[in-house]
């Protein structure tokens, strides 16, 4: 659940700060706030999920060079932050024109707070209001779900009474359609022109058998209806499954994908792939996605996948959405790269995060591709954290370390190669190890490394000079680079995540 940004700005406590919209005013009326954070950390963007109001004191931000300020804003916009509020009271410098222009160009509402207010009080007050609304919404959704279950138990799997109950309770136009768009049932009059449309997939054994569509008559929030849809979907799925049995093709696809996700043996997967129409001799890859916000996962990803890779098979298990993509028998590397690029573009505005797994020779090895995608997801993005679709091939080093190195072996490797850099950081409070890791992750590209760390290039060169001194020389052109990269990754991210089978 979220509340309107306008409501937040009009709150009594925030009004004391004399807020002034400096950029992105066109988005303010429609922006929603899911949570309020306060932070002076300049690399905060990768830690945000979207729809946050970010409060910052401004001293660290405005101390950056104009180009770095612009990059900071662009990264927040990429994470779909609701708004950035910068406290200018007491600062010797105003908000820079470059900062304002970047926010306007990115469509990010930029709020100047011209008086001091305790950020902790603002966050506590607004977040308490959000949590209270969430609790009330969950209670309403659970009450409706219980009444639908009672109706189903008393009167059988007749769809129409269930839709009418939804329509009366929520004051919406409620309809149920099959995957081809054919109407199964509907209740309610025509919604107002321009009313938002909220769709919820009705899943049976991982396959979409129907779609619940709700359009409010009286302005019910979309996120509330989406949450209610997810809560009542299981009841509607029970009714639909009793009246509309899945086709043989749907059953075969479901059985095959379930076997892939659960890790069936190779012979079984090849047998089921033929039954599902997936060529047993064709290379495939797996993808794994999880949502990071309130958006429903399955429908959005299905649409994106249909556009960029027809023939893919999908499966939803708990909160993880998996897909198997046949790649054909030629130019598989080029096709995989095109799929990754298209998904990154199509899902850039969606609150999901996932990984494209490695290519395998045939469906018999599909579970291994899924395992590696899950492991890559657990390890997190090595670079370009603004993307929410990652490539498992960028995590080969980390995957190898997580699988093959014991904790003792990893510790010895780290100490051998970057021990002096770590000791220097501990003694001086510097960030040389992080700088080394970023520099290696960006292929020794100083421009991209400086940009990611919000540093001037000269400052980065100074850091690298000290790093090379501690390493015993510039590692480029030596045989140390691969091992150094592995040691830096382990040291910066010292965890060996459990792999979910």
pLDDT at residue 499 tops 60? no
Tens digits of per-residue pLDDT, 432-442? 999 999 999 88
Indicate the pLDDT class of residue 385, thresholds 50, 70 and 90: very low
pLDDT value of residue 346: 85
How many residues does this entry show for the chain? 501
Structure tokens at 317: 């298990």
Tens digits of per-residue pLDDT, 415-473? 999 999 999 999 998 889 999 999 998 889 999 898 888 788 898 999 999 999 999 99
Cα(49)–Cα(45) distance, rounded to whole angstroms? 9
pLDDT value of residue 291: 72
Cα(223)–Cα(32) distance, rounded to whole angstroms? 10
pLDDT at residue 410 tops 50? yes
- Give the range among 320-329, 384-393, 406-415, 444-453 with minimum mean pLDDT: 384-393
Indicate the pLDDT class of residue 132, thresholds 50, 70 and 90: very high
- Burial tier of 248 (Cβ tally within 10 Å: 0-12, 13-18, 19+): exposed
pLDDT at residue 61 tops 60? yes
**Cβ-proximal residues to 272 (8 Å cutoff; 6+ apart), any chain:** 252, 255, 256, 259, 264
Q: Which domains does the chain have, with CATH numbers?
A: 3-117 (3.40.1390.20), 152-243 (3.30.450.40), 248-401 (3.30.70), 405-492 (1.10.10.2840)
Nearest to 179 by CA among 243, 246, 232, 257: 246
């Amino acid at each position: 659940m979220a509340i309107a940004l306008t409501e937040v700005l009009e709150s009594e406590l925030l009004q004391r700060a004399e807020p002034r919209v400096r950029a992105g005013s066109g988005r303010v009326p429609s922006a929603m706030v899911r949570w309020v954070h306060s932070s002076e950390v300049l690399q905060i963007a990768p830690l945000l999920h979207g729809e946050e109001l970010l409060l910052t004191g401004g001293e660290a931000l405005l101390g950056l060079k104009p180009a770095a300020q612009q990059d900071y804003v662009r990264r927040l916009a990429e994470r779909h932050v609701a708004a950035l509020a910068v406290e200018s009271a007491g600062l010797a410098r105003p908000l820079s024109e470059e900062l304002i222009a970047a926010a306007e160009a990115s469509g990010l509402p930029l709020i100047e707070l011209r008086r001091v207010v305790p950020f902790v009080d603002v966050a506590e007050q607004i977040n308490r209001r959000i949590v209270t609304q969430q609790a009330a919404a969950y209670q309403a959704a659970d009450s409706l779900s219980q009444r639908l279950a009672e109706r189903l138990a008393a009167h059988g799997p007749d769809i129409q009474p269930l839709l009418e109950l939804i329509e009366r309770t929520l004051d919406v136009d409620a309809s149920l359609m099959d995957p081809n768009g054919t109407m199964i049932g509907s209740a309610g009059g025509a919604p107002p022109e321009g009313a938002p449309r909220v769709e919820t997939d009705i899943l049976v054994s991982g396959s979409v058998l129907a779609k619940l569509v709700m359009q409010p008559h009286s302005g019910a929030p979309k996120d509330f209806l989406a949450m209610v849809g997810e809560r009542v979907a299981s009841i509607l799925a029970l009714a639909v499954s009793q009246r509309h049995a899945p086709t043989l093709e749907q059953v075969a696809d479901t059985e095959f994908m379930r076997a892939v996700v659960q890790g069936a043996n190779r012979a079984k997967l090849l047998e089921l792939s033929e039954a599902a129409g997936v060529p047993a001799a064709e290379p495939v890859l797996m993808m794994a996605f999880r949502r990071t916000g309130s958006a429903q996962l399955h429908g959005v990803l299905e649409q994106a996948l249909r556009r960029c890779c027809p023939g893919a098979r999908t499966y939803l298990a708990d909160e993880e959405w998996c897909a198997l993509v046949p790649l054909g028998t030629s130019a598989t590397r080029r096709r995989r790269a095109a799929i990754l690029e298209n998904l990154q573009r199509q899902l850039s505005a969606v609150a999901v995060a996932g990984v494209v797994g490695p290519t395998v020779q045939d469906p018999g090895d599909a579970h291994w591709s899924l395992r590696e995608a899950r492991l890559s997801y657990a390890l997190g993005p090595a670079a370009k954290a603004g993307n929410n679709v990652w490539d498992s091939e960028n995590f080969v080093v980390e995957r190898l370390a997580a699988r093959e190195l014991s904790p003792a072996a990893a510790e010895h490797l780290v100490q051998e190669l970057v021990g002096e850099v770590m000791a220097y950081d501990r003694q001086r409070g510097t960030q040389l190890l992080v700088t080394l890791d970023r520099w290696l992750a960006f292929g020794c590209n100083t421009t991209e490394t400086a940009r990611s760390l919000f540093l001037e290039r000269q400052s980065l060169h100074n850091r690298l000079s000290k790093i090379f001194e501690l390493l015993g020389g510039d590692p480029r052109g030596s045989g140390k680079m691969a091992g150094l990269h592995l040691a830096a990754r382990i040291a910066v991210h010292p965890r060996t995540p459990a792999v979910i089978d």
